[in-house]
Amino acid sequence: MKDNFQFFYRFLLWRDKHIKEKHFILIVSFLVGICTAAAAIVLKSIIHFIQHLLTGNFNQDGANYLYLLYPVIGILLAGLFVKYIVRDDISHGVTKILYAISQRKSRIKPHNAWTSIVASSVTIGFGGSVGAEAPIVLTGAAIGSNLGRLFRMEQKTLMLLVGCGAAGAIAGIFKAPIAGVVFVVEVLLLDLTMTSVLPLLITSVTAATVSYIFTGTEAMFPYS
């Protein structure tokens, strides 16, 4: 463990001397794209697994009163998970990101990279009337923030990586890379410059590509 830490520390020193920040951010944005796509795939897989586990044997032609009970159980389980395991307010995804950008120097707690996935997948899988967008956006932003902190990026770069994580999350779960970039510009209010647009595009395209590879090329909302 100690040897691994020393190796990573030497890598950081080498990176500071040989790779400029604006070039290294492209590499990190690619990693963020892969990680956010993996998070999106895990979230959708857990939701479908829980749904199939609970309703796989139901008769679709008849009424089943468990449909009324399952959402209550899901919300209760998610609440217990947050209260006794997370012991922190994971709140609404976008609100948490905006607060982190404005008040916490774009620093999002590491547990947000997985706790939102667990809580939301249980809630949605049990039939709760919530969507997967906000949880996966918070997860992606947390991945971007913590990867940036791991590689000791500057604060301005850290904010961009938070945006990259959010864009990658949208692109990964909806297979829509342009929508990810537009979401970041409109909701997170990040300014588009030549320095920022390329990392956002790299993350979004990477996340969408990975999602296509592992979940197929069918659109989430097909139309004819």
Q: What is the pLDDT of residues 52-106, one digit of tens each?
A: 888 877 776 667 788 889 899 999 999 899 888 988 877 767 888 888 888 888 8
DSSP 136-200: HHHHHHHHHHHHHHHTT--HHHHHHHHHHHHHHHHHHHHT-HHHHHHHHHHHS-PPP-HHHHHHH
pLDDT digits (tens, 9 = 90+) for 102-129: 888 889 999 999 998 999 999 999 988 7
Those residues whose C-beta lies under 8 Å from the C-beta of residue 212, and which sit 6 or more positions away, are 175
Q: Are 52 and 223 in contact (CB under 8 A)?
A: no
Q: Are 210 and 172 in contact (CB under 8 A)?
A: yes
Token pair in block for residue 68: 């009324």
Q: pLDDT-derived band of residue 3, with 50, 70 and 90 as boundaries?
A: low
Give CA–CA dist 152/196, Å, rounded: 18
Q: pLDDT-derived band of residue 194, with 50, 70 and 90 as boundaries?
A: confident
Give residue 81's region: left, alpha or beta (phi > 0; psi -120 to 50): alpha
Q: Angle at the Cα of 139 (from 131 to 191), degrees rounded to 5?
A: 95
Give CA–CA dist 33/163, Å, rounded: 11
Please, what's the b/e burial string for 156-168 (b: 16 or more CB within 10 A of its CB; e: otherwise)?
ebbbbbbbbbbbb
Identity of residue 217: T
In the DSSP assignment, the letter for residue 221 is: S
Place of tokens 């779960």: 173
Give CA–CA dist 220/58, Å, rounded: 24
Give CA–CA dist 159/153, Å, rounded: 10
How much is the pTM? 0.88
Inform me whether the pLDDT recorded for 207 exceeds 80: yes
Inform me whether the pLDDT recorded for 224 exceeds 60: no
Max intra-chain CA distance, the chain: 67
pLDDT digits (tens, 9 = 90+) for 11-52: 888 888 888 888 899 999 999 999 999 999 999 999 999 988
User: Length of the chain, please?
Assistant: 224
